[in-house]
Chain A
């Protein structure tokens, strides 16, 4: 590998690996929501990326509000932006489910088209409302700077923060799904909708909640996203294809699979990107994913029980 010394190579791997971790966080947060929604109601939400964009714009406006009117709050607005990002995406998700999605259950192709339409509409709404130019949130001072564990390694603080948040959020999702009554209902409905109704679960209500929560998680992903990149009308849609890849690769039935697959795809892309061009990196990743899926159509991880 031309011209790099051994220790330089090591540092490159660590730093590219780290930037891969930031990508991993975005993928994971997007994929969690997408996978839960897909598992619960078989709906592929093409507009999922736009909920990320909503969260990102929310954060941007919170920061603008703080900078313009309440300078004292610049250091602390961020946690509130995350909460508001969640609430807005949650609310819009809820509305979308009530107005559109629930009329299209059992028609997967129609939901695909309809949500794709919603995605385009939302992008145009963003463009008209906030302009086509990319905007960046003003980050609080404690998110800037980096840590230098060695001479050649440089790890940005915002990346570390993002990772921490992703970890917390994923844990919350796990707890929600596997320790709460709502999670139990989601998992039951995911497995057998008719029987879930037969044991007394209001599956439509569970659908609405699940869809809204999945969108809310994307909203949080958007808030977190502003710490590593700027926001434009199409920000979310740039990630939607990769996120689908993550969900399919990991196996829609398994959250552990989603985590593992988000990690490997993000790492592969980011490390390969440094040595090759980014499109070749994409091609290589895609080829690997396709090969694996041909060998294991249900994804990397599946739950093994008698059917």
Chain B
């Protein structure tokens, strides 16, 4: 589904992502794990066209996205839930979700979104900035989902969120993967969350993959070791 080859991203002279290659299969959930500062966000931003890559290619369903701008990548089928959520704080919850409808056929929010996130329906008239962190995370996911993506990209969705809401988010991600048959690419540091959703996981370190495992063969101790230090 999503095919990344030879990707290289730098800030000025400092190379942060070096020749990464990976693939997210159809209806697969792939997790990328790594400590702070190892390049997860940089990778996600490069996939979304927010950062320019120096080299390499990104393909979605055979279509080359490498030269496209962010909005074109969304139109092609990517959707992004950034680290720190980045909801529009002065827009209402409803308006926030509506911004995601740009590439959708209908410009009204489908009912199943509110079925997934009942709390957003209750709060739809409130300003996004006045929601709690967990509610904002759900809002950011809803905003991404309404564009009907083929691949949903989430950057550390559990950061700063309490365990019960983390469980909620895991449940929702599993549900949409089943009902919408989409692929999910997620970056994470919380192993229990990753194990609850991912089919496969990669460990990134200084912009390179150093470990790969399927969920059923995961060596939890080893991954914990990679994530600590």
Contacts and interface: CB of A to CB of B under 8 A. Distances in A.
Contacts of A306: 89, 129-130
Contacts of A196: 99
B103 A200 contact: yes
Interface in A137-195: 181, 184-185, 187-188, 191-192, 194-195
B202 interface: no
A191 B127 CA distance: 13
A306 B48 CA distance: 27
Interface stretch (B32-40, B59-67, B80-88, B169-177): B80-88
B64 to A, nearest CB: 18
A181 B71 CA distance: 16
B50 A197 contact: yes
A202 B127 contact: no
Contact of B70 (A197, A303, A307): A197
Interface in B142-182: 143-144, 147
Given A187-B88, A188-B91, A200 B102 contact: yes
A305 interface: yes
Nearest to B89: A305
B147 A200 contact: yes
Contacts of A187: 88, 90-91, 95
Contacts of B100: 199-200
B149 to A, nearest CB: 10
B88 A192 contact: yes
Most buried by B among A185, A200, A202, A305: A200
Contacts of A191: 88-91
Interface string B90-106: 11000100111011000
A201 interface: yes
Given A184-B98, A199-B102, A303 B75 contact: no
A59 interface: no
B74 interface: yes
B6 interface: no
B48 A198 contact: yes
A200 B74 contact: yes
Contacts of B147: 199-200
B135 to A, nearest CB: 12
A203 interface: yes
A198 B89 contact: no
20 contacts: A184-B95, A184-B98, A188-B88, A188-B91, A188-B99, A192-B86, A192-B88, A197-B49, A199-B102, A199-B144, A199-B147, A200-B74, A200-B102, A201-B71, A201-B102, A253-B90, A303-B90, A305-B127, A305-B128, A306-B129
5 nearest A-B pairs in the assembled complex, by CB-CB distance:
A305-B129, A200-B74, A197-B70, A200-B102, A195-B86
Interface of B: 48-50, 69-71, 74-75, 79-80, 82, 86, 88-91, 95, 98-100, 102-103, 107, 127-130, 143-144, 147
Interface of A: 181, 184-185, 187-188, 191-192, 194-203, 253, 303, 305-307
Given A198-B82, A200-B102, 7 more contacts: A181-B98, A185-B99, A197-B69, A197-B71, A198-B70, A198-B80, A199-B99
